Amino acid sequence: MLQEISFAKLSPTQNMTILVKSMHSEEEYAPIASRLMSYDNVFAEQVGFIKQATHPGAVAALNMAGGEFCGNACMALAALTAHQQTIHPSESTTIHLEASGTDQLINCLVQKTDEDDFFCKVMMPVPRNIEARTLKHEGNNYTAGLVQYSDFLHIILEVQQFTGSLKKLAENLARMLEITSSYPLIGVLLFKPDSNELLPLMYVPALDSLVWERGCGSGTASVGAYAAWKNRTLFEAPIQQPGGIIRVSASCEEHKISGVSISGNVSIVAEGKAYIHL
């Protein structure tokens, strides 16, 4: 059956994101997302579905295709909402969103910088637990941070170089963790602490989507939270990723993370109709 999909495509730090504006049942999310993300369709790294909010303080709700949480998609929806509100360059507004993968209301500060460009700052979910482990690979020991949230898990692997061998390790680790856990999102983050460079791998088991993302908001937040927890102090830094820079600020009190925010640029790439067979 041919379906018409109304969508917007946005670029938060080149983490190409499709937001579906037309209404669909949750059973259709995965097949719709798989088709939209494919090379012969709209093509992107992830898909979220815009729904009507149930919380009185939220303007919209964002459901990711795999039920996961995504910071960049929240920034994308906040920017799209601000665009629809027709704010002018240099003006700013605060957008409150519901989001899948967390029961926290997501607060987004949006400032318009150009015709279709926005600067966004998002208050992120706080990890419920952080641990440090040692991972052995090809005779080398790597420090690994386990950053656990209620609905997703990130593994931060501290490395000196981004090698093909380490990328393969990350892919195998993500798929292995699917077997031993029930998280809707598993991220393995190769991170160079000396230069604050990040190479993020995101795996959504429900979609069988394993993507080396060009920019990752939730991964950036986890890196900041892990660094603040490890050093027991405030951590603020620009985190360089293949698609550009996302800034993070994470505070730590009594060896617990008390707050995390990320900020970056979002541009609107396209809006229109897509046609897929289900």
Active-site residues, by number, are: 70, 216
Strands (DSSP E) contained in 1-102 are 2-12, 17-20, 46-51, 60-64, 92-99
121 neighbors 108 (Cβ within 8 angstroms): yes
192 phi, psi to nearest 5 deg: -100, 100
Q: What DSSP designation does 207 have?
A: G
216 neighbors 72 (Cβ within 8 angstroms): yes
Q: Which helix (H) or strand (E) holds 73?
A: helix 71-84
Residue type, 277: H
250 neighbors 225 (Cβ within 8 angstroms): yes
